[in-house]
């Protein structure tokens, strides 16, 4: 009996092992960890501060873009560091040997921004105010800077204010002067985009300067808008006191009025083309000093105010009569 029952017991044990009702074990998930917190890098603005008048680096001057300041080293280098997310918009350059300058910074990431300011050692602020801000004639009402930001187109009218035609040689004289002085007056930044002639006008049209003519010499030999698109130059034609020998218009007057149209006021200095002091000579060119300060003017934004503040934008217009 014993030998017969043993296989049955073994089979039952095997079946119990193979057919049990317990569930298989599940893998344990790894512990959850939060992603590491990263701090954005700071915004860094750096560059070199140089003199507008000369190009030399300016050392020991303060560059400020609130709330951060930096003092330039011997090479004129500065560096401003701001917390991430900061968007400084305005900068100031300060120092005892320069004209305080303020301006605007464009938004962006860390970058190099080179800046410049007028160094007082070789810069005459009074002269700059005269020739760029009308400071000689109106020192109590200094004007914002006016100049062209592109090459002007010139329209020369072929008839005067009475409807009579202007001599062809006079039209050619003026066209030749325009072609030569406009690039000079911008220190090579702009030439003349085009010169057209006709009986119409381009007054009030963006991009143009209209040159027209009058035979009324009772008030002036020339007048012009200052640094304005759509502006004009009016020349007194073929009249005593405004002509020069056989020339119906003085070359000096044409050059002077074009100086106004490109952005300059009267300087009050008798040796200057832009003096504003009545002189009867037939011709004159700009002095080296005038050209230098005209170059400084073209290194500043339209609407720059005294002593050296760049605005976001500005729109200005004025007319100046020549005293020559």
Instruction: Give the separation between CA 233 and CA 226, rounded to whole angstroms.
Output: 9
Question: Cα 165 to the chain's mean position, in Å?
Answer: 40
Q: Tell me: the pLDDT tens digits for 219-231?
A: 789 999 999 999 9
pLDDT for res 25: 66
Predicted pLDDT at 219: 77
CA distance 229 to 262: 9
pLDDT digits (tens, 9 = 90+) for 238-287: 888 899 988 899 999 999 999 999 999 999 999 999 999 877 789 999 99
Kindly report, residue by residue over 114-162, the tens digit of the pLDDT. 999 999 999 999 999 999 999 999 999 999 999 999 999 999 999 999 9
Q: Position of tokens 């204010």?
A: 161
Q: For position 4, what pLDDT does the model report?
A: 45
Of 302, 209, 311, which is closest to residue 260 (Cα–Cα)?
209
What's the pLDDT at 37? Answer: 64
CA distance 268 to 323: 11
Helix and strand numbers (H, E) in the chain are: 5, 14
Domains and CATH numbers, the chain: 43-123 (2.60.40.1120), 153-321 (3.40.390.10)
Q: CA dihedral defined by 259, 264, 268, 271, rounded to 10 degrees?
A: -40
* Greater model confidence, 320 or 154: 154
pLDDT at 253: 95
CA-CA-CA-CA torsion sign (117, 56, 130, 301): negative
Q: Output 5 or 242, whichever has higher pLDDT.
A: 242
Residue listed under structure tokens 């500065």: 78
Alpha carbons 92 and 49: distance in angstroms, whole number: 11
Supply 19's token pair: 């057919």
pLDDT band at 106 (very low <50, low <70, confident <90, very high): confident
The mean pLDDT value of the chain amounts to: 88
The residue behind tokens 């569930």 is 23
Please check whether residue 146 is in contact with residue 302, taking contact to mean a CB–CB distance below 8 angstroms.
yes
What's the whole-number mean pLDDT along residues 99-123?
92
Task: Please indicate whether residue 322 or residue 70 has the higher confidence score (pLDDT).
Answer: 70
Rounded Cα gap, residues 221 and 161, in angstroms: 14
Distance (Å, whole) CA 177 – CA 223: 16
The helix (run of H) or strand (run of E) holding residue 112 is: strand 111-112
pLDDT of 1: 45
How much is the pLDDT for 15?
40
Mean pLDDT, residues 299-316: 82
Q: Which helix (H) or strand (E) holds 5?
A: helix 2-18
- Phi, psi (degrees; rounded to nearest 5) at 273: -65, -35
Residue pair 322/220 in contact by the 8 Å Cβ criterion: yes
Instruction: Give 242-247's long-range contacts (Cβ < 8 A, gap of 24+).
Output: 242/217, 244/282, 244/283, 245/282, 247/173, 247/282
Q: 93-124: b or e for each residue (b if 16 or more CB lie within 10 Å)?
A: bebeebbebbbebeeeeeeebebbbbbeeebe
Distance CA 105, CA 148 (A): 22
């Amino acid at each position: 009996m014993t030998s017969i029952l043993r296989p049955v017991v073994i089979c039952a044990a095997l079946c119990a092992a193979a057919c049990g009702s317990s569930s298989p074990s599940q893998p344990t998930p790894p512990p959850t960890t939060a992603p590491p917190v990263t701090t954005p890098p700071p915004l860094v603005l750096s560059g070199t501060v140089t003199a507008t008048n000369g190009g030399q680096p300016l050392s020991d001057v303060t560059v400020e873009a609130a709330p951060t300041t930096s003092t330039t080293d011997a090479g004129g280098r500065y560096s401003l560091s701001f917390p991430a997310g900061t968007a400084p918009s305005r900068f100031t350059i300060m120092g005892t040997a320069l004209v305080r300058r303020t301006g605007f910074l464009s938004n962006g990431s860390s970058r190099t921004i080179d800046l410049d300011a007028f160094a007082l050692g070789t810069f005459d602020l009074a002269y700059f105010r005269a020739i760029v801000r009308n400071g000689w004639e109106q020192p109590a009402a200094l004007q914002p800077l006016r100049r062209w930001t592109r090459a002007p187109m010139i329209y020369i009218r072929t008839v005067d204010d009475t409807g009579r035609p202007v001599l062809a040689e006079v039209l050619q004289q003026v066209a030749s002067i325009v072609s030569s002085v406009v690039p000079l007056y911008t220190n090579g930044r702009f030439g003349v985009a085009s010169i057209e002639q006709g009986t119409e006008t381009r007054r009030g049209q963006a991009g143009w300067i209209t040159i027209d003519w009058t035979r009324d010499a009772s008030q002036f030999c020339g007048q012009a808008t200052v640094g304005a698109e759509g502006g004009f130059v009016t020349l007194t034609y073929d009249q005593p006191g405004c002509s020069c020998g056989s020339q119906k218009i003085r070359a000096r007057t044409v050059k002077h009025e074009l100086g106004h149209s490109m952005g300059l006021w009267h300087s009050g200095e008798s040796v200057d083309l832009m003096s504003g002091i009545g002189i009867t000579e037939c011709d004159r060119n700009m002095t080296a000093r005038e050209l230098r300060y005209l170059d400084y003017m073209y290194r500043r934004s339209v609407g720059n105010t005294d002593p050296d503040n760049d605005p976001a934008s500005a729109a200005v217009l004025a007319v100046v009569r020549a005293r020559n």
